Amino acid sequence: MPVYKAPVRDMKFVLHEVLQAEHLLAQMPGTQEVNAELINSVLEEAGKVAEHLLAPLNRHGDEQGCQFNGGIVTTPDGFKQAYETFSQGGWIGLAGDPEYGGQGMPKTLAVCFEEMMMAANSSLALYAVLSAGASLAIARHASDELKQAYLPKLYEGTWSATMCLTEAHAGTDLGMIKSRAVPQADGSYLLTGTKIFITGGEHDLTENIIHLVLAKLPDAPAGARGISLFLVPKFLPDANGAPGARNAVSCGSIEHKMGMKGSATCVMNFDGAKSFLVGELNKGLACMFTMMNYERLTIGLQGLGLGDASYQTASSYARDRLQGRAATGAVSPDKPADSLLVHADVRRMLLTMRANTEAARALAAYVGTQLDMVYFHPDEQVRSRAAKLVALLTPIAKAAFTDRGFEACVLGQQVLGGHGYVREWGQEQHVRDARIAQIYEGTNGIQALDLMGRKVVFDREGMLDVLVEDVRAFIASEKDGKVAGFVSVLDEALNVLLQTTTCVRDASAGNPNEVGAASVAYLDLMTLILYGFMWARMVSVATRSLDADANSDIDFYRAKIHVGCFYLDKMMPRYKSVAEEIRAGCDVVMTMDAALF
């Protein structure tokens, strides 16, 4: 019943009209062949894959789920075949290193594709994005030998990959992990330990599974500074590079979860498994962060995509469902009732979902362009500036997209009333699937702490300054234009952000708890302003496009302006009370005795 339509038109708007991505890509060796035509054809093909290959398996994957039987994990019927088709299309290696068989497409484009995949079928998509993320960590940090042996297989999708961090007693606090790797004479290691919550740790989609595992050498320094990263294949490659001897790694069980039932979440046992060091000894966490930062943005896209999928069903249901009459009198007197769209509160829900989804899509592409600059731009200064923005915006993208994506799924369920609570329309599955995105890849609380702590209060590189520079440049260029009203609110909000930042920075010098107490609200404050920034840019472009040519895509631009104004009037003002909440400080949070909780 729910039919997912990939938001290709909106992505073209963001990439071409708002960000002029093709001009940027044309300037950089490595991406200069990615012109507007290629972008569009990839978006359209990607849309077809999401709509016709992934989406049709989404509900079935939820209902059948993964099965565990004696160490073997079976994915839902149809997943294996779809994954093969998908792999053969080259989608797993879309942004992969061309030297090892990747397609070398820019992140700007991969971001769009990942949103579609996640919207269409998060469970199935997750196997693919983990392979892509692990490939990135291998491409950056592994030896040439490991790259040769593993990257082509991962890009072609015949092998897949996992990230193994969490242990039963060590989630956020990875310094406490107990997994041990013992060096062997041949330069390899024997790894022993148990990891939990391992997505895709075992399954039947690919002929081999490559685990990236955090562990410590017996003599490693205590805490996080003693963590190393290892590559542990399920089957050791034989002389021809094909899966050979079975390694000492096995799946102990899978989790019964709220959602994401087509994605196998495994307990993985390593019993002296042959392992290969990736990157330097004791620098494992930094190497893993290459993958984690990639995955964080991608997980943000899961929230964004599911929120959009929920919006699509909710808006189409609201249009067709006849219930009640407009407050101002019947709009369809010939019908037994008016469409739900006549009711202000139904509109409020839909507009809220859409305002957050479209702002997030623009912000995701903005982060994508910055990531491409970091990797491809010839100018060191540009690269360094972009790296700061990426560092600042990654935790925001992960947490804000998933918090607001979950909220959108809840609203999209509410629009359908009781029909949203039953399985039939798929809205309740979106809520269950979206919920994990606020938790995994570092909880959203951890993202907020990363933002407020490392990226703002303790940052010495001026990450926030770079963002402020970009926002101010936009404000300056538009302050006398058609979106002047919008821009003046943005300017005011930016000043409040800066005052609030100073306030927390000063207070935290006296009490380090100020950072933790403010962090989630601070991320929310930044998001309200960043989404305002994105909306101001989009409304500005849409206004100009309407002026320039009243006949082209009028409806698209008009809707853009409507939703932007809704955001400005109804959603953005909340930044003021969020700032007030932050300024209330940490004492009221910290003084209650632990025993009283």
Footprint of its own copies on residues 200-239 (CB under 8 A)?
none
Beta-carbon contacts of 89 under 8 Å, excluding residues fewer than 6 positions away, are: 45, 49
Beta-carbon contacts of 208 under 8 Å, excluding residues fewer than 6 positions away, are: 153, 158, 159, 160, 233, 234, 235, 237, 243
Subset of 111-140 contacting its own copies (CB under 8 A)? none
Q: Annotated catalytic residue: which of 51, 156, 295, 441? A: 441
- Cα(456)–Cα(472) distance, integer angstroms: 18
Helix (H) or strand (E) holding 245: strand 243-246
Question: With respect to its own copies, which residue has the nearer C-beta, 380 or 593?
Answer: 593
Q: Does 348 bind its own copies (CB under 8 A)?
A: yes
Q: Does 60 bind its own copies (CB under 8 A)?
A: no
Q: Does 515 bind its own copies (CB under 8 A)?
A: yes
Nearest approach, Cβ of residue 285 and its own copies (Å): 14
Nearest approach, Cβ of residue 305 and its own copies (Å): 19
Subset of 3-42 contacting its own copies (CB under 8 A)? none
Which stretch, 141-149, 365-373, 445-453, 486-494, contacts its own copies (CB under 8 A)? 445-453
Q: Is 18 left (phi over 0), alpha (psi -120 to 50) or beta?
A: alpha
Among residues 24, 23, 17, 40, the alpha carbon closest in space to that of 545 is found at 17
Question: With respect to its own copies, which residue has the nearer C-beta, 108 or 265?
Answer: 265
Q: Does 328 bind its own copies (CB under 8 A)?
A: yes
Subset of 233-272 contacting its own copies (CB under 8 A)? 255-258, 265
Subset of 492-511 contacting its own copies (CB under 8 A)? 511
Quickly tell me which residue has 């019947």 as its tokens.
Answer: 330
- Cα(232)–Cα(157) distance, integer angstroms: 17
In the residue annotation, 441 being an active-site residue is answered as: yes
Nearest approach, Cβ of residue 25 and its own copies (Å): 31
Which of 89, 244, 272, 445 binds its own copies (CB under 8 A)? It is: 445
Nearest approach, Cβ of residue 478 and its own copies (Å): 20
Which stretch, 13-21, 238-246, 431-439, 455-463, contacts its own copies (CB under 8 A)? 431-439
With beta carbons less than 8 A apart as the criterion, state whether 406 and 437 touch.
yes
Which of 324, 459, 468, 553 binds its own copies (CB under 8 A)? It is: 324
Q: Does 378 bind its own copies (CB under 8 A)?
A: no
What phi, psi does 232 have (nearest 5°)? -130, 100
Which of 92, 181, 436, 530 binds its own copies (CB under 8 A)? It is: 436
With beta carbons less than 8 A apart as the criterion, state whether 196 and 259 touch.
no
Beta-carbon contacts of 371 under 8 Å, excluding residues fewer than 6 positions away, are: 107, 108, 297, 386, 390
Nearest approach, Cβ of residue 449 and its own copies (Å): 7
Subset of 549-568 contacting its own copies (CB under 8 A)? 555, 558-559, 562-563, 565-566
Which of 336, 380, 548, 550 binds its own copies (CB under 8 A)? It is: 336
Among residues 43, 562, 54, 21, the alpha carbon closest in space to that of 302 is found at 54
Among residues 569, 580, 560, 559, the alpha carbon closest in space to that of 489 is found at 569
**Contact pattern for its own copies over residues 290 through 319, marking x by CB under 8 A:** -------------------------x--xx
With beta carbons less than 8 A apart as the criterion, state whether 269 and 252 touch.
yes
Subset of 390-429 contacting its own copies (CB under 8 A)? 406, 410, 413-414, 417-424, 428
What phi, psi does 212 have (nearest 5°)? -100, 115
Q: Is 461 helix (H, G, I), strand (E, B) or coil?
A: coil
Which of 12, 432, 454, 544 binds its own copies (CB under 8 A)? It is: 432
Which of 1, 185, 327, 550 binds its own copies (CB under 8 A)? It is: 327
Beta-carbon contacts of 292 under 8 Å, excluding residues fewer than 6 positions away, are: 133, 163, 441, 442
Nearest approach, Cβ of residue 257 and its own copies (Å): 5
Instruction: Give the distance from CA 45 to its chain's centroid.
Output: 21
Quickly tell me which residue has 């079935």 as its tokens.
Answer: 60
Q: Does 66 bind its own copies (CB under 8 A)?
A: no
With beta carbons less than 8 A apart as the criterion, state whether 158 and 92 touch.
no
Strands (E), 279-414: none
Question: With respect to its own copies, which residue has the nearer C-beta, 79 or 440?
Answer: 440
Q: Is 258 helix (H, G, I), strand (E, B) or coil?
A: coil
Q: Does 337 bind its own copies (CB under 8 A)?
A: yes
Which of 48, 169, 225, 479 binds its own copies (CB under 8 A)? It is: 169
Q: Which residues does the annotation mark as catalytic? A: 441
